[in-house]
Structure 1
Amino acid sequence: MSNSYDVIVIGSGPGGYVCAIRAAQLGLKTAIVEREHLGGICLNWGCIPTKALLRSAEVLHLAEHADAYGLKLEGKISPDLQAVVKRSRGVSGRLTTGVGFLMKKNKIDVIWGEAKLTKAAKGVAPAEIKVSKPGKKAMEPQNPPPKNTLGEGTYAAKHIIVATGARPRALPGIEPDGKLIWTYFEAMVPPEMPKKLLVMGSGAIGIEFASFYNAMGVDVTVVELMPNIMPVEDSEISGFARKQLEKQGLKIITEAKVSKVDKAADSVTAHVETKDGKTQKIEADRLISAVGVQGNIENLGLEELGVKTDRGCVVIDGYGKSSIEGIYAIGDVAGPPMLAHKAEHEGVICVEKIAGVPGVHPLDKSMIPGCTYCHPQVASVGLTEAKAKEAGYEIRVGRFPFVANGKAIALGEDQGLVKTIFDKKTGQLLGAHMVGAEVTELIEGFVVAMNLETTEEELMHSVFPHPTLSEMMKESVLDAYDRVLNA
């Protein structure tokens, strides 16, 4: 058939568009199907615009504390909500346009619409893809389809890669309504700033929005089911972060859940049950539901084709291959960790395996870094101290505080901690965990070290520039072996 390709990727988020680019680089005739936004959730409603919001909050924080840097700012400093949101949307739009350029540059056809897989004639392809016009909700005036795109029709490919991402998970009885109960979509473009806000869930999404709104002067309360906020992080790091966030005025309730929400005309009352069985009522103008995400596997025709799924995600092997020959999945729809950088790497591995590139290895999820861009930032890779012990390792743990680092003190950001965990027998770096200024930039040093199977000896003999925050990374390693120099 004329609409035939080597590879068709369904979804143009970070995983999808990167996968398509790599396929084109490898000489495969490639198309990508998108129903809503080039760049997916990450560029349009997730990673990028939230960081723009948080940057505005950071600048506001610095301005409010200008006197600590010997500066005097005249007049009242206050956020202009509409301007903050406009900047965030502008950053997003700039990058989305960039994805369109990359598709054109790499000669990747963009097919605009809703995709559904159907059974194809034997020997033609694993399935046909029927593309229909996207629904009205999907199409937004601010982001119309790029020029020179294909549209409705039937397409086929030897290899179909599902990269449809995920959406906010909703709890029964506390479903988001777009007005009083928000997901990250509404939280990113508030028409006005609430006076009181309740955030349900303290993962990266919940804590980042809690940090943003708190910096903007909102009275914020976070409710978390687990004993610690940011439950996937090392407990010592999350405990440190909690203290700093509470110092900034954030209210945090752990080992508790929102069991019920009463709605009024312009406010909500949440019934919060604590571990001792008691219930307290918390009134707020708005509630953000940040209880995780779930894969977009519905209405794609996967079940009819026999593609195996589990807990809302496509089951894959180490190279993205599903239970059906010629059909693959990458990114959030393929399961946790649901991170953009994991999706990108998964997409590259998947298509390189398809193309027969030698030396392709399955993704090692233990070496995927996690970052939370609250204030202070949190970043980690590898095993936590508790997980390392559970795995049976005899460990050495190193710590170095920001308060002993010259650059951190000069920046006025002396509250933080770098923690490293080593196998006592081999010197293998098992995990690294950080909280403090710019740790989301620093963590990649430890990621590279782990990928290169670097030992403590090599890290201790590496020269780190002075004065930098990165010096704390080496000092943490030294501390694990009782050789710390500056603390």
Structure 2
Amino acid sequence: MTDQSFDVVVVGGGPGGYVTAIRGAQLKLKVALVERENLGGICLNWGCIPTKALLRSSEINHLLHTLPEYGFSAENVKFDLDKVVKRSRGVAKQLSSGVAHLLKKNKVTVFDGTGRLAGKGTLAVEKDGKPVATLKAKHIILATGARARVLPGIEPDGRFIWSYREAMVPDIMPKSLVVIGSGAIGIEFASFYRNMGAEVTVVEALPRILPVEDEEISAFMHKQFEKQGMKLLVGASVKGVEKGRDSVTVTIEAGGKAQKITAERVISAVGIVGNVENLGLEQAGVKVERTHVVVDGFGRTGVEGIYAIGDLTGPPWLAHKASHEGVVCIEHIAGLKPHPFETWNIPGCTYCRPQVASVGMTEAKAKEAGRKVKIGRFPFIGNGKAIAMGEPEGMIKTVFDAETGELLGAHMAGAEVTEMIQGYVVARQLETTEAELMHTVFPHPTISEAMHESVLDAYGQVIHF
């Protein structure tokens, strides 16, 4: 057991915590980081990164089964599930080791254990119930993240009902699967398992899948998934789950009618709750609302010396949001006077097939805010590169303020849109109007030309459709 003093102590080593710690060290602060499990947090070890490795494998499986479209043929195409999972875990391990190296390189002191507020400027660190250290710091930043919400009666059991963890390391490739929830997590798993050959049913309580996306994008993706053979039940609720010897029967109610669906496995992906327990928040006087810590634009909780960032503070639950929020917080502590953190320009990406990406206001939100809008749309079927790639299914939608030309939002579905969305993010950050975008030269042939055409369409100047 050791007593040590630091300028800043960060609790949680995910993409919010470790980035904050490194930035603090760059600013010549003496920084400690406390992590109870794996550096890189859920995102790197059990979320963003390993799921993308799995999805890459499923994309390859899809391509291998569509080889004739590209002039190739192959017989007896199959996959080794153990190797697919092993590759995913290997990618996560490699990057987690990289985070450890970066922290060491920047002279951040790392403590293995669980942190708990223990008085003003004090954090007690324990491991397996035993004291490890008492850390003193003027500034304590909480970055403990969030976890999957568990619904009563649908608790993951590690066998028939999976959380995201079991879904990432499956012991079998189920022939049939029910996914409860159609947000980014649920849809990514639905897409992975469907592309690997499983019969997939998605159950969504709200009236449409991908409910945070623009309605047109949701409708477009609904059709795409149905073409792929998914069964989508919207406005539906799970009334019960009955486990059998080798399967699970899910009772679903939609439109006043109940139906039973039997599948080999169920994935529960019904939301996020903040990791606020056992941190000493109540004793410290930190305000918590609906499992999330309340903060201002600099991560301040209202209690002197205590800050919170990332998923712990609420939506959007995104790694890049957590990292940026942490940088703003630590730069404020260091006296650099950064702009307060805001969520108005945080892009969202869903890595299903085809991909989905968006930033800013949907058309409906813009109208609710009293904006008069101009809408531009462009389908991938009008884009030469998309057709040449064999990826003609996609669309881009842009939302402009009709009076000022401000780019209010951009919404995309199709191949590689998660890479392209940053173009619109930069445009919004620079407060670009339609004039600058219309006069920007986009390279040919690229899918990004569809972004330009969507802008042109909003102002009646579209060329290729």
Deviation at 1:364, TM superposition (A): 2.1
Q: In structure 2, the residue corresponding to 1:202 is in which secondary structure?
A: coil
Question: Could you tell me how far apart the structure 2 residues matched to 1:347 and 1:79 are?
Answer: 40
Contact 2:348-2:357 at 8 Å conserved across structures? yes
Q: In structure 2, the residue corresponding to 1:484 is in which secondary structure?
A: coil
Matches within 5 A, 1:292-371: 292-358=271-337, 360-371=338-349
Deviation at 1:268, TM superposition (A): 1.2
1:106-133 deviations in whole A, cap 9, x for unaligned? 00000001111111xxxxxx33111111
Could you tell me which amino acid in structure 2 is paired with residue 322 of structure 1? T
1:450-472 deviations in whole A, cap 9, x for unaligned? 01000000000111100001111
1:95 alignment counterpart: 95
Structure 1 counterpart of 2:425, from 429, 438, 447: 447
> What is the identity percentage for the equivalent residue pairs of Structure 1 and Structure 2?
63
Q: In structure 2, the residue corresponding to 1:238 is in which secondary structure?
A: helix
Unaligned runs of 5+ in 1: 120-125, 137-150
Question: Could you tell me how far apart the structure 2 residues matched to 1:369 and 1:323 are?
Answer: 28
Number of aligned residue pairs: 464
Question: Could you tell me how far apart the structure 1 residues matched to 2:399 and 2:295 are?
Answer: 31
Question: Could you tell me how far apart the structure 1 residues matched to 2:128 and 2:107 are?
Answer: 23
Deviation at 1:216, TM superposition (A): 0.7
Could you tell me which amino acid in structure 2 is paired with residue 398 of structure 1? G
Matches within 5 A, 1:101-116: 101-116=101-116
2:361 alignment counterpart: 383
Deviation at 1:135, TM superposition (A): 7.0
1:177 alignment counterpart: 157
Matches within 5 A, 1:105-184: 105-119=105-119, 126-134=120-128, 152-184=132-164
Contact 2:295-2:302 at 8 Å conserved across structures? yes
1:383-416 deviations in whole A, cap 9, x for unaligned? 0011111111110000011000010011000010
Could you tell me which amino acid in structure 1 is paired with residue 96 of structure 2? T
Matches within 5 A, 1:44-55: 44-55=45-56
1:219 alignment counterpart: 199
1:205-260 deviations in whole A, cap 9, x for unaligned? 00000000001111110000111100000010111111111111111000001121
Deviation at 1:195, TM superposition (A): 1.3
1:94-115 deviations in whole A, cap 9, x for unaligned? 0000000001110000000111
Question: Could you tell me how far apart the structure 1 residues matched to 2:22 and 2:386 are?
Answer: 39
Contact 1:226-1:256 at 8 Å conserved across structures? yes
Could you tell me which amino acid in structure 2 is paired with residue 259 of structure 1? K
Deviation at 1:2, TM superposition (A): 5.1
Question: Could you tell me how far apart the structure 2 residues matched to 1:341 and 1:29 are?
Answer: 24
Deviation at 1:57, TM superposition (A): 0.4
1:250 alignment counterpart: 230
When normalised by structure 1's length, the TM-score is 0.94
Unaligned runs of 5+ in 2: none
Contact 1:11-1:164 at 8 Å conserved across structures? yes
When normalised by structure 2's length, the TM-score is 0.98
Structure 2 counterpart of 1:475, from 453, 457, 460: 453
Q: RMSD across aligned C-alpha pairs, in angstroms?
A: 1.2
1:253-290 deviations in whole A, cap 9, x for unaligned? 0000112111223321111011x211111111111000
Could you tell me which amino acid in structure 1 is paired with residue 35 of structure 2? E
1:2-49 deviations in whole A, cap 9, x for unaligned? 500001100000000000000000010001000100000000000000
Q: Does the alignment pair 1:400 with 2:378?
A: yes
Contact 1:8-1:32 at 8 Å conserved across structures? yes
